[in-house]
Amino acid sequence: MLFTAMAIVGWIALAIVAWALVDCALRPPGAFPAAGRQTKVAWLIFLGLALIVQLLFDPIGLLGIASIVLAVFYLVDVRSKVVALTRR
């Protein structure tokens, strides 16, 4: 039962990081500096490394949690600012 719960948490964490990476890839590059954040390339590198961490390491370990926090930060903060700039 515990293994199943951990597997579900791992798949959810992987999905969140993958969603953030795909979303970042689809956003226009000029909107990131305009929103006062790093460049699109920098975010793609950060989120790509986060996805690699999710695939290679324990998603509930220290590196896994750090990659989830990074992806959630992108989705909540950076994405919302980029979307607000591009929808005008």
Residue 2 pLDDT > 80: no
Q: How do residues 31-85 score in pLDDT, each as one tens digit?
A: 999 988 899 999 999 999 999 999 999 888 899 999 999 999 999 999 999 999 9
Cβ proximity of 20 and 75 under 8 Å: yes
Q: What is the DSSP string of 22-63?
A: HHHHHS-TTHHHHTTS--HHHHHHHHHHHHHHHHHS-TTSHH
